[in-house]
Amino acid sequence: MSAEFRYRCGECRYRTPWLDESEGAWQLAEHYRRRHPRVGPGGEFEIRRGWRDLFGRLFR
Ligand SMILES: [Zn+2]
């Protein structure tokens, strides 16, 4: 089972469902394109990998 990723918008409360990395990143990029066209992609992500969760901040 692959790691699952969940991305969060840095500008509003939008959050993707748990997805694989590329699908989640794409959905967040689409969200920014629609909702925050003047803001570069940012936000945060979580990685759920079995017994532990990782958390990080996306580049801005
Ligand atoms: Zn947003």
pLDDT in tens, 3-54: 699 999 999 999 999 999 999 999 999 999 999 999 877 899 998 876 677 7
Note the pLDDT of residue 60: 54
Around ion ligand 1, residues with a beta carbon closer than 5 Å are 9, 11-12, 14, 35
Full-model pTM: 0.79
The Å distance, Cα 46 to ligand 1 centre, comes to 16
Note the pLDDT of residue 55: 73
Cα–Cα distance measured from residue 11 to residue 16, given in angstroms and rounded to the nearest whole number: 14
Instruction: Report the SS3 class of residue 38.
Output: coil
CB contact at 8 A, 44 and 5: no
